[in-house]
Amino acid sequence: MKGWLVGPKPSIRYRGKRHVVEAWLTNAILTGTLPAGKWLRQSEVAVLCGTSQTPVREALRALEAKSLVVYEPHRGVRVAEYAEYIEQFLSLCEVLEGLATELAVRQLRPSTITVLARALSDMEGASARGDAMALRAAHSKFHITLYRGSRFPFLVGILEAAWAQFPWDGFLALPSHRALSLADHRGILETVRARDSLGAAEVVRRHARELRDLLHVENSVGVDSAHR
């Protein structure tokens, strides 16, 4: 296992040791540095992260809830075969978030635009500061506010449940994704302000597709590096 966590700590800030460990592991998994099937020993992770085993154990439980690791009785914890799970989530986003966005823009309220603009501003500020938790909160606020504007509670319920299980911290911590995400969210807000329901829906769908493509690129690069 030695050698998989190399280089500087993530530039984005996390609060608490558990969040630091979770961020490191999530980044390593999503980029392919820790490939599917890799066993994660709590004692080794604790040494690499400079913590006790308690925050490591808590981080692994959080990653299990996000389907990134799997506990096997009497054996330990290994990186999950998560690629299909991510693919399914982003495919769901492409369809359902596009629909929710289209419906929301058709019945847009001025207050919704105000909240979206504030959330985008908060995203930009958090990204510049390297504040991971604030970035995730603003990112979630932007999307959930938009989808609730659809006034389609059943659809919003599905999306909120799916979002709660997705490892957004890891995606948002990737430098390549942060730049892409901010640009896409500016595009979403622009089309929403123009009350272009079809255009806004297409930007949201494209964002999901780009996330999927980004994951493939990051993962393939990380796996190649891990095997050198």
pLDDT for res 130: 81
Per-residue CA distances from 58 to 14, 20, 25, 62, 189 (Å): 15, 11, 12, 6, 37
Domain presence at residue 122: yes
70-128 pLDDT, tens per residue?
999 989 999 988 777 788 888 999 999 999 999 999 999 999 999 999 999 999 999 88
Domain count, the chain: 2
List all residues 6 or more positions away from 98 whose beta carbon is below 8 Å from its beta carbon: 201, 202, 204, 205, 208
Is residue 151 classed as helix, strand or coil in its secondary structure? coil
Structural domain containing residue 35: 17-82
Beta bridge partners of 39: 78
Any idea how long the chain is?
A: 228
Judgement on whether residues 34 and 120 belong to the same structural domain of the protein:
no
Q: What global pTM score does this model have?
A: 0.74
Judge if 41 and 151 occupy the same domain.
no
Amino acid found at 198: L
Give the CATH number of the domain where residue 35 resides. Answer: 1.10.10.10
Residue 142 CB-half CA count within 13 A: 24
Place of tokens 């608490």: 16
Report pLDDT for 38: 92
Q: For the chain, which residues score pLDDT lower than 70?
A: 1-15, 173-180, 216-228
Confidence (pLDDT) at 82: 77
**Secondary structure element (H or E) that encloses residue 85, with its range:** helix 83-92
Q: Are residues 72 and 88 in the same domain?
A: no
**Chain centre to alpha carbon of residue 143:** 13
